[in-house]
Amino acid sequence: MSADLVRPADALWWQVFPLGFTGTEPTLTPTLTHRLPHVTAWLDYLVETGCNGLALGPVFAASTHGYDTVDHLRIDPRLGDRADFDALIATAHHRGVRVLLDGVFNHVGEQHPLFRAVLTAGPEHPDNALFRIDWSGDRPTWDCFEGHRHLVTLNHSSARVVDWVAEVMIHWLDAGADGWRLDAAYAVPTEFWAQVTARVRARHPDAYLLGEVIHGDYTGFVADSGVDTVTQYELWKAVWSSIIDHNWHELVWTLGRHDEFGAGFRPWTFIGNHDVTRIVTQVGGPRTAGHALVLLTTLRGTPAVYYGDEQAMPGLKEERAGGDDAIRPAYPPSPAEIPAEGMAPGGAALRRLHQLLLGLRHRHPWLADASTQVLRVSGELLVYRQHGAEGQTMTVALNLGEAETVPMGAGEVLAVSAPDESPGHGDPAAVALHDGEATVPARGWLIAH
Terminal-residue alpha carbon distance, the chain: 35
The DSSP annotation for 304-339 comes to EEETTGGGT------SSTTTTGGGSPPPPSSGGGS-
Closest CA to 412 of 433, 386, 392: 433
Phi and psi for 146 in degrees, rounded to 5? Answer: 50, 40
What digits encode the pLDDT tens for the residues 64-105? 999 999 999 999 999 999 999 999 999 999 999 999 999 999
Distance (Å, whole) CA 43 – CA 184: 27
- The amino acid occupying position 221 is F
Q: In terms of pLDDT, which residue wins out, 279 or 432?
A: 279
User: For residue 278, what are the contacts with CB-CB under 8 A and spacing of at least 6?
Assistant: 272, 306, 308, 309, 313, 314, 315, 316, 327
Average pLDDT on 292-314 reads: 98
Instruction: Classify residue 278 as exposed, middle or buried by CB count within 10 Å of its CB (0-12, 13-18, 19+).
Output: buried
Q: How many helices (H) and strands (E) does the chain have?
A: 13, 22
DSSP character string of 79-91: T--HHHHHHHHHH
| pLDDT at residue 409 in the model | 85
Query: Reduced to 3 states, what is the DSSP secondary structure of residue 9?
Result: helix
- The per-residue pLDDT for range 126-165, each reduced to its tens digit, is 999 999 999 999 999 999 999 999 999 999 999 999 999 9
Q: What is the pLDDT of residues 312-360, one digit of tens each?
A: 999 999 999 899 999 999 999 999 999 999 999 999 999 999 999 999 9
Give the HSE-up count for residue 54: Cα atoms under 13 Å, Cβ half-sphere: 30
- pLDDT of amino acid 404: 95
Does the structure show a pLDDT above 70 at 2? no
Quick one: pLDDT at residue 410? Answer: 75
Residue 426 pLDDT class (50, 70, 90 cuts): very high
Structure confidence at residue 405 (pLDDT): 95
Using the Cα atoms of residue 87, residue 88, residue 90 and residue 95 in order, give the sign of their dihedral.
positive
CA angle 203/208/212 to nearest 5° reads 125
Identify the sign of the CA torsion 48, 92, 35, 180. Answer: negative
- 177: closest CA among 97, 104, 106? 97
Q: Confidence band (pLDDT; 50, 70, 90) for 112?
A: very high
- Give the pLDDT score at 273: 98
| Cα separation, 8 vs 298, whole angstroms | 18
pLDDT of residue 310: 98
Mean pLDDT over 171-199 rounds to: 98
What is the band of 411 on the pLDDT scale with cuts at 50, 70, 90?
confident
pLDDT in tens, 388-406: 999 999 999 999 999 999 9
| DSSP at 231 | B
Q: CA-CA distance, 301 to 296, in Å (whole number)? A: 8
Asked whether 50 and 3 are in contact (CB, 8 A), the reply is no
Q: Where are the alpha helices (DSSP H) in 1-64?
A: 18-21, 36-40, 43-49
Strand segments, DSSP code E, in 206-337 are 208-211, 229-230, 268-270, 302-306
Residue 4 confidence (pLDDT): 76
pLDDT higher than 70, residue 3: no
Q: 235 with 297: CB under 8 angstroms?
A: no
Q: What is the pLDDT of residue 365?
A: 98
On the question of pLDDT at 271 being above 90, the answer is yes
Percent of the chain predicted with pLDDT > 90:
97
The chain-wide mean pLDDT, for the chain, equals 97
Q: Whose CA is closest to 43, among 29, 32, 27, 54?
A: 54
Distances (CA, A) of 373 to 382, 404, 412: 11, 20, 19
What Å distances lie between residue 351 and 307, 363, 365, CA to CA?
A: 11, 18, 21
Q: How far apart are CA 42 and CA 46, in angstroms?
A: 6
Would you say residue 1 has pLDDT above 60? no
